[in-house]
């Protein structure tokens, strides 16, 4: 090994060099927009080593050659790099604001025969869309049935097909029930043994689709509410600005955008939104 050859990181099961990390980082950014700084070097190793092992390969360089050639394996690798941390009613101030200010407007529209569309752009394993559905339907099951009978739907999208499979099932460890407000939990979930199931009415309201936010979006209609939380923190500034501008385009006039607590709105989109709460924005009605 001469001085110009990247030296492997020591103490690892498979040879893994700075050049390997740089190649993975560039590929993940190109296909998903996720930025992987140098501090994530060993995170990349830990997320991908299982895939290298499953393929029976001798080093990371060989696996990188594989994912360059094989789109399906590349998708597996990129999904392995995504973070899917979520919980029911995460950042609960958003749901309080929704119940207090947005829900009455949406119910009035449904009562008048109108339609309501909402989008969770990083749905992960489904906790966020189901939290939004519970917040819309409320604590009274009979009232919730009437609301759900209107022209209302929630779209849940994610880069990872594996997490969406979990979301569609609507089955979770019973311990997660503690994150749901008591009255909503009693109305819309059932616990049996160590499993909590969300009500079929909730599952029927949410449609799950795989979507890379950097690619073309197939949705034709606009949304009254968009949740895109704790996603942009993984993007660089130009990618964030482009994404937010597209989200605003996808909002109906007067629609609401919810972002993560550490995220900010910038660029051209900031002129089209009005802050109305903690990381809650409303698009101009005109």
Say if residue 222 carries a ligand binding annotation: no
Say if residue 212 carries a ligand binding annotation: yes
Say if residue 106 carries a ligand binding annotation: no
> Catalytic residue among 103, 117, 158, 240, which?
158
Contacts 24+ apart (CB under 8 A), 97-100: 97/276, 97/277, 97/278, 97/280, 98/132, 98/135, 98/136, 98/225, 98/256, 98/258, 99/135, 99/138
Say if residue 84 carries a ligand binding annotation: yes
Query: Does the annotation mark 47 as catalytic?
Result: yes
Taking the CA atoms of 73, 75, 81 and 86 in sequence, report the sign of the dihedral they define: negative
Distances (CA, A) of 70 to 52, 114, 216, 228: 14, 45, 21, 30
Say if residue 187 carries a ligand binding annotation: no
Say if residue 128 carries a ligand binding annotation: yes
Query: Does the annotation mark 158 as catalytic?
Result: yes
Taking the CA atoms of 49, 55, 60 and 64 in sequence, report the sign of the dihedral they define: negative
Say if residue 215 carries a ligand binding annotation: no
Say if residue 62 carries a ligand binding annotation: no
153/131 Cα distance (integer angstroms)? 14
Say if residue 243 carries a ligand binding annotation: no
> Catalytic residue among 47, 76, 109, 168, which?
47
Binding residues for S-adenosyl-L-methionine: 84, 86, 90, 128, 158, 212-213, 229-230
Just list the catalytic residues. Answer: 47, 158
Binding residues: 84, 86, 90, 128, 158, 212-213, 229-230
């Amino acid at each position: 090994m001469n001085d110009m050859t990247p030296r492997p990181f020591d103490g690892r099961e498979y040879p893994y060099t700075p050049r390997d990390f740089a190649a993975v980082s560039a590929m993940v950014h190109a296909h998903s927009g996720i930025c992987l700084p140098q501090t994530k070097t060993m995170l990349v190793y830990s997320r991908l080593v299982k895939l290298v092992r499953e393929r029976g390969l001798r080093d990371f360089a060989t696996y990188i050659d594989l994912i360059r050639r094989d789109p399906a394996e590349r998708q597996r690798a990129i999904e392995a790099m995504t973070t899917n941390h979520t919980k029911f009613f995460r950042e609960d101030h958003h749901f309080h604001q929704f119940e207090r200010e947005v829900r009455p407007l949406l119910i009035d529209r449904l009562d008048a025969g109108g339609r309501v569309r909402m989008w969770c752009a990083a749905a992960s394993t489904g906790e966020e869309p189901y939290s939004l559905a519970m917040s819309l339907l409320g604590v009274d099951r009979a009232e919730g049935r009437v609301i759900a009978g209107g022209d209302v739907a929630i779209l849940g999208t994610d880069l990872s097909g594996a997490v969406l499979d979990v979301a569609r099932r609507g089955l979770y460890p019973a311990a997660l029930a503690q994150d749901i407000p008591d009255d909503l939990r009693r109305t819309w979930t059932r616990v049996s043994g160590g499993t909590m199931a969300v009500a079929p009415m909730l599952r029927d309201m949410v449609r799950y689709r795989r979507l890379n936010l950097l690619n073309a979006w197939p949705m034709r209609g606009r949304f009254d509410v968009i949740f895109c939380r704790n996603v942009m923190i993984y993007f660089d500034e130009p990618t964030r600005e482009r994404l937010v501008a597209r989200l605003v385009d996808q909002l109906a006039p007067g629609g609401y955008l919810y972002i993560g607590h550490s995220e900010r709105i910038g660029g051209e989109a900031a002129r089209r939104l009005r802050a109305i709460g903690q990381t809650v924005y409303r698009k101009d009605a005109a």
